[in-house]
């Protein structure tokens, strides 16, 4: 038994080392041409987000994800910029990438996807993603009952079953 656990730890360590090398490769390559310009891009993207200049923020975060596609924070910020710009299809894709990368509170990203689908009038995907958010650990049920993003699905039987209303 001890040998099996040891072998599993070695395998997990190899996977982790490989993943870390991959991340380092993307990080270095994303910024090797001009690291100062990349840092400036991030500063500008964060400022545009803070200033709620959503068109500008979306453009800048898009550039950041192009240059460094393995940073989940950039995808989350891109999703938020697209959401606030009412570009829900693009927001959904960015949040899905955030989930894929495992960055942050992925259940919040799943909830945001549900909101985007609901705002787009796509009830079934909205309900499916709301269920995924619950399955992933989303627990802010009070928010679900008051969030106007979910108005389009609030009277659906599946919504009532999920939320216990």
Predicted pLDDT at 10: 42
Mean pLDDT, the chain, rounded, equals: 87
Contacts of 78 (CB under 8 A, 6+ apart): 58, 61, 62, 64, 65, 94
Nearest in space to 64 (alpha carbons), one of 97, 92, 87 = 97
- The model scores a pTM over 0.75: yes
pLDDT > 90 in the chain, percent: 74
Same domain flag for 110 and 153: yes
Query: What total of structural domains would you count in the chain?
Result: 2
Residue 20 lies in a domain: yes
Residue 98 lies in a domain: no
Same domain flag for 138 and 165: yes
- pLDDT 10s digits, 16-40: 444 454 455 455 555 457 899 999 9
Q: Is the pLDDT of residue 53 over 70?
A: yes
What CA–CA distance (Å, rounded) separates 24 from 31? 11
Nearest in space to 96 (alpha carbons), one of 121, 78, 123, 122 = 78
Contacts of 76 (CB under 8 A, 6+ apart): 94, 95, 98, 103, 104, 109
Same domain flag for 87 and 110: no
Q: What is the mean pLDDT of residues 53-57?
A: 98
Residue 22 lies in a domain: yes
Same domain flag for 79 and 149: no
Same domain flag for 12 and 37: yes
Is residue 135 within 8 Å of 116, Cβ to Cβ?
no
Quickly state the pLDDT bin for 142 (edges 50, 70, 90).
confident
Q: Is the pLDDT of residue 54 over 90?
A: yes
Residue at a domain's end among 56, 91, 126 = 91
Predicted pLDDT at 29: 53
**What domain range includes position 23?**
1-91
Quickly state the pLDDT bin for 155 (edges 50, 70, 90).
very high
Same domain flag for 25 and 65: yes
Same domain flag for 39 and 71: yes
């Amino acid at each position: 038994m001890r040998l099996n656990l040891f072998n599993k730890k070695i395998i997990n360590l190899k996977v982790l080392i490989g993943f870390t090398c991959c991340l380092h490769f993307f990080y270095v390559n994303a910024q090797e041409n001009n690291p100062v310009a990349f840092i400036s891009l991030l500063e500008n993207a964060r400022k545009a987000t803070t200033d709620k200049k959503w068109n500008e923020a979306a453009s800048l975060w898009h550039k950041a994800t192009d240059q460094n596609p393995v940073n989940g924070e950039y995808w989350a910020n891109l999703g938020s910029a697209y959401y606030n710009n009412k570009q829900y299809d693009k927001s959904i894709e960015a949040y899905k990438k955030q989930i894929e990368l495992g960055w942050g509170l992925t259940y919040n990203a799943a909830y945001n996807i549900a909101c985007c689908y609901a705002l787009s009038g796509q009830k079934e995907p909205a309900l499916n993603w709301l269920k995924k958010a619950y399955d992933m650990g989303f627990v802010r049920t009070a928010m679900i009952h008051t969030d106007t993003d979910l108005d389009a699905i609030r009277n659906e039987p599946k919504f009532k079953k999920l939320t216990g209303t």
